[in-house]
């Protein structure tokens, strides 16, 4: 007989040998009168309410999550699961319970792709139909008439809605909504900017809200990875496949033998696996970042900026102080070239920074001329970005970071973009540094030019750096 156990695939976790649930309620909804149902419901915990209304009996690890969401007014959860642990069912149950009980507020199930969101929506609707039947049996109502139900939206008489929505590449279709509950499935596969630009603003007007991310890990960088691994304000349960009593350890052992090692670690152990083509190691970026550091009140030796060219690019302006602290001052998608030049001139004058280095690529030549007119030719240096020049700038930045010459004041976008930069070799043997699809390098480009300007200042005086 094989000695393989589920615990062999969940190191460090307490994995019971069998399905031994130590929670639940003994209440039988079929034995309740209408009055008893109405009296009992408000007294139940969320897990107990879900069992009574939906017939949902969570495993212990799922129960722990439900209890956590029940105990906090502001809920921020990032679940790190493997395959077949019931994340879709659990997420659907959370959404169904929220939609049925939170009067006047929208509940949103979201995902990078509509089909993924619809899978969780189907689970939520299935559970709500069970609740509908159990309530009708005692003369009560779920409060969601059939005519107000469709594939991707259910409207309740209390004024709230249950929504299934796709985030797409920019989330623009969800702007203007105001849900107080959002769960994002396969969160690691959505562009990072969607979270900060679209989803986080949902909660600005809510004193209480629930924000849940769940996803099979995909790489060791990005918004989802940050919330799981780095953000102490988030609860981050780890659910490898072996945690589920329904998963046969022999099946996992067979999968391990037949599956490429990195894929098995990611899909079934639920682990974050780094990419071999990253230009900066994520651990390096974390090591040089400091939440308490700031360059704003010190003597700036250099300023830098990357101006938006098109689409979702951002104008990014930052600087490095005399201690080597680098900080982002401006990160804006809507600044015009004239406005950005004005901001640079103001920073130049406020901090008495000696030189501006400008990326002359494309529209940058015009910005060089504007800056020369405002602050003088002596203070402006034009730089054209080529593969060779970018390689040189980034190699210099990498050396500065590895040697401890720079400290990064924490900025989420800067850190994520640095971590996601990749490199490849051209046929001519040059290093090409790029961002991933739907990604950006606005913040790293700013930092690379700022670091260049600082190095130049150490050999020839002082420099202010600016990139278009």
Which DSSP letter does residue 102 get?
Answer: S
Enclosing H/E stretch for 80 = strand 74-81
Q: Which two tokens stand for residue 198?
A: 């679209």
Whose structure tokens read 């939520």?
Answer: 124
* Cβ contact 333:193 at 8 Å: no
CA 197/CA 37 separation, integer angstroms: 42
* Per-residue model confidence (pLDDT) at position 170: 54
The distance from CA 33 to its chain's CA centroid, rounded to whole angstroms, is 46
Q: Is 453 helix (H, G, I), strand (E, B) or coil?
A: helix
In 156-226 the beta strands, taken as DSSP E runs, fall at 161-166, 181-185, 209-214
CA 238/CA 81 separation, integer angstroms: 6
* Cβ contact 228:205 at 8 Å: no
Whose structure tokens read 């969607």?
Answer: 194
* Per-residue model confidence (pLDDT) at position 212: 98
Q: Is 110 helix (H, G, I), strand (E, B) or coil?
A: strand
Enclosing H/E stretch for 285 = helix 282-288
Whose structure tokens read 């780094």?
Answer: 274
Q: Which two tokens stand for residue 10?
A: 């969940």
Residue 94 CB contacts under 8 Å (≥ 6 apart), including other chains: 66, 69, 181, 183, 210, 212
* Cβ contact 94:212 at 8 Å: yes
* Per-residue model confidence (pLDDT) at position 176: 53
pTM greater than 0.85: no
Strand partners, 409: 290
Strand partners, 318: 304, 328
Q: Which two tokens stand for residue 267?
A: 């899909």
What domains are there in the chain, each with its CATH number?
Answer: 6-267 (3.40.50.300), 282-466 (3.30.420.240)
Q: How many CB atoms lie within 10 A of CB 304?
A: 32
* Cβ contact 62:86 at 8 Å: yes
CA dist 316 → 6, 57, 331, 413, 468 (Å): 49, 49, 5, 11, 9
* Per-residue model confidence (pLDDT) at position 24: 66
* Per-residue model confidence (pLDDT) at position 309: 75
CA 38/CA 43 separation, integer angstroms: 10
Q: How many CB atoms lie within 10 A of CB 362?
A: 14
* Per-residue model confidence (pLDDT) at position 145: 92
Chunked into runs of 10 residues, the chain (468 residues) has average pLDDT values of 79 78 76 89 92 92 95 96 95 96 93 94 97 93 92 94 83 66 95 90 93 92 92 95 92 92 91 86 92 83 82 86 93 89 89 81 79 83 84 93 94 92 81 83 92 81 45
CA 178/CA 203 separation, integer angstroms: 7
């Amino acid at each position: 007989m094989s000695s393989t156990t589920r615990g062999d695939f969940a190191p460090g976790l307490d994995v019971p040998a069998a399905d031994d649930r130590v929670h639940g309620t003994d209440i039988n909804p079929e034995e309740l009168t209408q009055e008893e149902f109405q009296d009992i419901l408000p007294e139940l915990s969320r897990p107990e309410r879900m069992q009574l209304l939906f017939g949902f009996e969570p495993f212990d690890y799922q129960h722990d999550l439900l209890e956590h969401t029940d105990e906090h007014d502001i809920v921020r959860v990032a679940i790190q699961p493997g395959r077949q642990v019931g994340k879709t069912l659990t997420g659907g149950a959370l959404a169904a319970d929220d939609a049925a009980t939170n009067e006047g507020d929208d509940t949103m199930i979201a995902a990078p792709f509509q089909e993924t969101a619809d899978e969780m929506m189907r689970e939520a609707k299935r559970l709500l139909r069970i609740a509908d039947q159990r309530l009708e049996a005692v003369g009560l109502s779920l409060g969601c008439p059939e005519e107000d139900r469709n594939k991707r939206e259910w409207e309740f008489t209390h004024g709230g809605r249950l929504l299934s929505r796709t985030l797409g590449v920019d989330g623009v279709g969800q702007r203007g909504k105001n849900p107080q509950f959002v769960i994002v499935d396969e969160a690691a596969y959505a562009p990072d900017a969607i979270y900060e630009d679209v989803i986080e603003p949902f909660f600005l007007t809510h004193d209480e809200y629930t924000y849940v991310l769940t996803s099979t890990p995909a790489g060791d960088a990005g918004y989802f990875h940050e919330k799981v691994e780095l953000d102490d304000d988030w609860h981050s349960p780890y659910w490898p496949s072996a945690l589920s009593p329904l998963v046969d350890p022999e099946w996992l052992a067979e999968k391990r033998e037949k599956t490429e090692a990195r894929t098995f670690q990611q899909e079934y152990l639920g682990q974050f696996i780094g990419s071999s083509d990253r230009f900066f190691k994520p651990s390096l970026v974390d090591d040089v970042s400091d939440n308490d550091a700031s360059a704003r009140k010190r003597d700036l030796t250099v300023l830098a900026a990357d101006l938006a060219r098109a689409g979702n690019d951002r104008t990014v302006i930052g600087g490095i102080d005399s201690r080597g602290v680098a900080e982002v001052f401006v990160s804006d998608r809507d600044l015009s070239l004239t406005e950005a030049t004005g901001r640079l001139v103001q920073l130049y004058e406020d901090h008495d920074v000696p030189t501006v280095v400008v990326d002359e690529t494309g529209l940058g030549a015009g910005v060089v001329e504007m800056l020369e007119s405002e602050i003088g030719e002596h203070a402006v240096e034009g730089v054209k970005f080529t593969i060779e020049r970018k390689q040189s700038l980034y190699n210099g930045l990498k050396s500065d970071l590895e040697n401890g010459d720079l400290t990064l004041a924490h900025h989420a976008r800067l850190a994520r973009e640095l971590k996601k930069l990749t490199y490849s070799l051209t046929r001519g043997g040059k290093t090409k540094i790029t961002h991933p699809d739907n990604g950006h390098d606005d913040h790293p480009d700013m930092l690379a030019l700022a670091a260049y300007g600082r190095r130049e200042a150490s050999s020839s005086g002082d420099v202010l750096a600016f990139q278009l």
